[in-house]
Structure 1
Amino acid sequence: MRRVEPAYPDLLPITHLVRPGYLPGPRVALDPIRMGVVWEDAPRRILPAEGSVPRDPVRAIVFARVAREREDVLLRLLERGSSALLVLDDPAITPGDLGLEPSPDEARITALLPVLPFPLSDGLRTPTEWQGFRWGAVLGLFPFPGAAEEVERRVTQLKKAGAGFAIAAPLLLTPTDRHRILDGSEGTGLEDRLENCLFHADVGRGLHALERLAGVALHKAGMDPFLPCMVPRGLNPQAVRTAGMLRLWARRLDQSHEESSWGWRLRRAAAALDRLPNDPAALADEDNLRIVPGFDSWVESFTRAIWRGGEPV
């Protein structure tokens, strides 16, 4: 294993990766760590001879193709109290292939379905074999033609299939990726529109609008727009969930207020909650929430507003 820094740590709070990470498959795929495209002809990766596992519980990301080949690493991770985010890079892989069975301790392992947008995706295949586990999706966003309608449609499909959450994050395309997408659209009648969105349009503005649209769609569907369930042994699920909510709002504040954002205050409180063995709601009921590092009066009122489902101020 090795330490890893995801492209969007507010949305994907992981610290470790089971090497070597993604393994290219027969189709183009999404790498949720760097939110980039993995093409089917990407260089082949070699599995390490052996895999070490940290002694202390960590939040690790594991790709299903790797776990199928190194089942012992995933099981040792769980035995030592770590929480695993299992990326379903091959939807045909079942829990039985990995030696997993549904258990009451569902917060320790979470399945994540990577979803690419059109024209990189040929449809959504939901993981029906993983219904006994907590699972969700990561939606790669890019302002392609028809992207807004596609996001709403994907959220509806995921909700109907039983997903509990969905992370919507901008897709990071390299210049090579953009040219390859445009070249692959030849003869489809979409060349001009794709060229405009890939090379001439204001991509940042379009991505911001798509993130807001995805957030609204997820709220209407009753799904969490963040990762609520990476809970290593000894930590409190409600504290981890609240930390995820605060990190999401920190990102939203940064997008809205830029340099004047107070998102850093929410991240500081979220970092403390990630290590809290107590239920923060119980502390709040006792008016003791400010004993948690980072919880000043503004952060406390902000958190209480989120819990109540109101509008934070």
Structure 2
Amino acid sequence: MKVTEHNRITVSARRWPLLSSPWPGFIARRVGSFFVATWIILTLVFFLARLLGGDAVVASAGLNASPEFIQARRAELGLDAPLLEQYGRYLGGLLTMNLGESISLRTDVVDLIAARLPFTIQLALISFVISVIIAIPVGMLIALRTEGSRSRGTDAAFNGVTGLIAATPDFVIGVTLIVIFAVTLRALPAAGGNGPLAYILPVTTICVGLIAFISRVVKTEANRVLKEEYVRTARSMQLPTFMVLSRYVLPNVLTATITYAGLIIAGLLGGSIVTETVFGWPGIGNLLIKSMLSFDYPLLVGIVLVVSMMALLVTFAVDVLLAIVDPKSLIVKS
């Protein structure tokens, strides 16, 4: 029997299935994009941080510090070297997880971030989980109620309320909650991160906007899916509404929702600065504000780098999850 080129490829694919799989190329490209994006963010922040002005060494040393002490401190931190040389040293330090020393706090940057980051992650994840649990059912119910241009009043009210909430800044929501529940009713603490009660106001502040945004996405996607032929076919078979929604509508809605969810989580990790500041939350956002006010370049660059890498990892995980849920997207992306 003559062995053709097609047969050779087929036999090779059976022996080495990864050679015919799009996954290796997909993962390689995503990993490459991760490192390139991390390097670009690091480079931009490293050089742009110097545009803040000010002198962190002078600010941390105090007004009575002698010029000799300030010069010695700069030399100790390596700030007397040319900027490109400092950049090269910083890149080399990353290989050993050395992000330098905070100028203002005189503590290792990694230790400072490690102490604060768990509070930010807890706040972000708790807020996200609660928002998703509430927003998905709400969006599905509104989609069912407004399907086929029915109940236009409900549709207009939902869009108006959620649009107004989503457009309201977090600090306005946070301050309002503090005035009502902490100052007037004195039922909840207004600041700090100790105890379960301390989570209620900051989590609520974040959840209000998230629920409005996610429920709008779910409602829009559910309305689109409800018009598909396979959903109409399932309904014509007189299947229970819950079965139609859970088996045919929800999986397709979740594909779009997962994409937005990844962006939301990534945004929460780096965008909780306002909420943490309003509530005095001991997270990474508060630390970032302090580093900017004190011109603490190593701390500022370290925080932005860590938060950016976490956001990129979340995006990478979402891409992989979407490829698993919808293999067609894997083939297209590859």
Normalised TM-score (structure 2): 0.22
Normalised TM-score (structure 1): 0.24
Whichever structure has more helix as a proportion of its residues is: 2
Question: Which structure has more RCO (C-alpha within 8 Å, separation ≥ 6)?
Answer: 2
State the structure with more CA Rg: 2
